[in-house]
Amino acid sequence: MDLTLEDFAAEVGSSGPVAIAGLGTRSRPLSDVRVVHAPSGIEWIEPAEMTICCGAGTPVDEIDAALAEHGQQVAVHPGGTVGGALAVGQSGLRRLAYGAMRDALLQANYVNAAGKLVKAGGPTVKNVSGFDLCRLLVGSYGTLGFIGDVILRTRPKASFEQWFTSDRDPWELLSGLFRPTSVLWNGATTWVLLEGNDRDVAEMAERFSLTAVPNGPELPGGGRWSMAPSELISLKVASPGSFVAEIGVGVVHHTRPRPVRPPDLVQADLHARIKREFDPTGRLNPGIDALSIR
Amino acid sequence: MTVLDTTIDLDAVTRALRVRLRDDQVRDSLTMCNLYRRDASNMTGRAGIVCFAESTEDVQACVQVAADMGVPFMARGSGTGLAGGAVPPPDAIVISTTKMNKILSVDEVNRIAWVEPGVLNLDLSKQIADLGVHFAPDPSSQQTCSIGGNVANNSGGPHCLADGVTNAHIHGVEVVLPDGSISILGGEEPEPDGLDLRGVFVGSEGMFGVATKICVRLMQNPPDVATMLMDFESVAEGANLVSDIIASGIVPAAVEMMDQLCLIAVEEFIHAGLPVEKAAALLIEVVGPSAGVAADVERICQLASERGVGAIRVAADDAERALLWKGRKSAFGAIANIMPNYYLHDTVVPRHKLAEVLDQIYEIVSRHNLQVLNVFHAGDGNLHPLILFDGSVEGVFERVHAAGREIVKASVNAGGVLSGEHGIGLEKRDLMPLMFTETDLSAQADLRRAFDPQLISNPDKVLPNPATCGEIHSAPEGAWI
Ligand SMILES: Cc1cc2nc3c(=O)[nH]c(=O)nc-3n(C[C@H](O)[C@H](O)[C@H](O)COP(=O)(O)OP(=O)(O)OC[C@H]3O[C@@H](n4cnc5c(N)ncnc54)[C@H](O)[C@@H]3O)c2cc1C
Ligand SMILES: Cc1cc2nc3c(=O)[nH]c(=O)nc-3n(C[C@H](O)[C@H](O)[C@H](O)COP(=O)(O)OP(=O)(O)OC[C@H]3O[C@@H](n4cnc5c(N)ncnc54)[C@H](O)[C@@H]3O)c2cc1C
Question: Angle formed by the axes of helices B354-367 and B396-413, to 10°?
Answer: 160
Domain stops at, among B332, B366, B399? B332
Among partner residues B192, B202, B292, which is closest to A200 by beta-carbon distance? B292
Domain extent, residue B305, equals 224-332
Position B330 confidence tier, pLDDT thresholds 50, 70, 90: confident
Among partner residues A48, A139, A246, which is closest to B196 by beta-carbon distance? A139
Q: Where are the alpha helices (DSSP H) in B248-337?
A: 260-270, 290-306, 318-329, 331-334
Domain stops at, among B288, B306, B332? B332
Domain stops at, among A157, A178, A199? A157
Domain stops at, among A142, A157, A172? A157
Q: What is the per-residue pLDDT for B472?
A: 33
Q: Is B362 on the interface with A (CB under 8 A)?
A: no
d(CA B98, CA B352): 41
Q: What is the per-residue pLDDT for A173?
A: 98
Q: Could you tell me what percent of chain B has a pLDDT over 90?
A: 91
CA of B329 to the centre of ligand 2 (A): 17
Among the bound ligands, name the one nearest to the CA of residue A136: 1
> Which CATH number goes with the domain that contains B324?
3.30.70.2190
> Which CATH number goes with the domain that contains A40?
3.30.465.10
The pTM (predicted TM-score) of the whole model is 0.95
Chain segment B261-276, per-residue pLDDT in tens: 999 999 998 999 999 9
Residue B123 in contact with residue B148, Cβ under 8 Å? no
A68 and A149 housed in the same domain: yes
A199 and A121 housed in the same domain: no
Question: Angle formed by the axes of helices B10-20 and B56-69, to 10°?
Answer: 150
Chain segment B428-457, per-residue pLDDT in tens: 999 999 999 999 999 999 999 999 999 999
Q: Is B1 on the interface with A (CB under 8 A)?
A: no
Chain segment B295-328, per-residue pLDDT in tens: 999 999 999 999 999 999 999 999 999 999 998 8
- Asked if residue A286 belongs to a domain, the reply is no
Cβ burial of A104 (10 Å; 0-12, 13-18, 19+) is buried
- Asked if residue B94 belongs to a domain, the reply is yes
Mean pLDDT for chain B overall: 93
Taking CB atoms and an 8 Å cutoff, what residues of chain A touch B206?
none
Taking CB atoms and an 8 Å cutoff, what residues of chain B touch A253?
none
Q: What is the per-residue pLDDT for B475?
A: 41
A16 and A28 housed in the same domain: yes
Q: Is A217 on the interface with B (CB under 8 A)?
A: no
Number of domains in chain B: 2
Chain segment A201-219, per-residue pLDDT in tens: 999 999 999 999 999 999 9
To test the contact with chain B by mutation, choose from A51, A96, A124 the residue with the greatest count of B C-beta atoms within 10 A, namely A124
A110 and A9 housed in the same domain: yes
Nearest CA in chain B to A233: B110
Q: Measuring CA to CA, how many Å separate A283 from each of A20, A24, A54, B83? A: 11, 19, 26, 38
A185 and A80 housed in the same domain: no
Domain extent, residue A107, equals 5-157
Identity (one letter) of the amino acid at A3? Answer: L
Domain stops at, among A140, A157, A174? A157
A139 and A185 housed in the same domain: no
- Asked if residue A290 belongs to a domain, the reply is no
| CA-atom Rg of chain B in angstroms | 23
- Asked if residue B394 belongs to a domain, the reply is no
Taking CB atoms and an 8 Å cutoff, what residues of chain B touch A47?
246-247
Cβ burial of B22 (10 Å; 0-12, 13-18, 19+) is exposed
A18 and A88 housed in the same domain: yes
Question: How many other CB atoms are found less than 10 A from the CB of residue B299?
Answer: 16
Q: What is the per-residue pLDDT for B407?
A: 97
A145 and A16 housed in the same domain: yes
Q: Which atom of ligand 2 is nearest to the CA of B75?
A: 47
Domain stops at, among B295, B310, B332? B332
- Asked if residue B76 belongs to a domain, the reply is yes
Mutate-to-test residue for ligand 1 from A3, A88, A278, highest number of ligand atoms within 8 A of CB: A88
- Asked if residue B258 belongs to a domain, the reply is yes
A25 and A150 housed in the same domain: yes
Furthest CA-CA distance within chain B: 69
A185 and A43 housed in the same domain: no
- Asked if residue B245 belongs to a domain, the reply is yes
A45 and A148 housed in the same domain: yes
Chain segment B46-77, per-residue pLDDT in tens: 999 999 999 999 999 999 999 999 999 999 99
Number of domains in chain A: 2
- Asked if residue A228 belongs to a domain, the reply is yes
Q: Is B180 on the interface with A (CB under 8 A)?
A: no
d(CA B328, CA A254): 49
Q: List the end-to-end C-alpha distance of chain B, in Å, as a whole number.
A: 31
- Asked if residue A289 belongs to a domain, the reply is no
- Asked if residue A271 belongs to a domain, the reply is no
A133 and A179 housed in the same domain: no
- Asked if residue B182 belongs to a domain, the reply is no
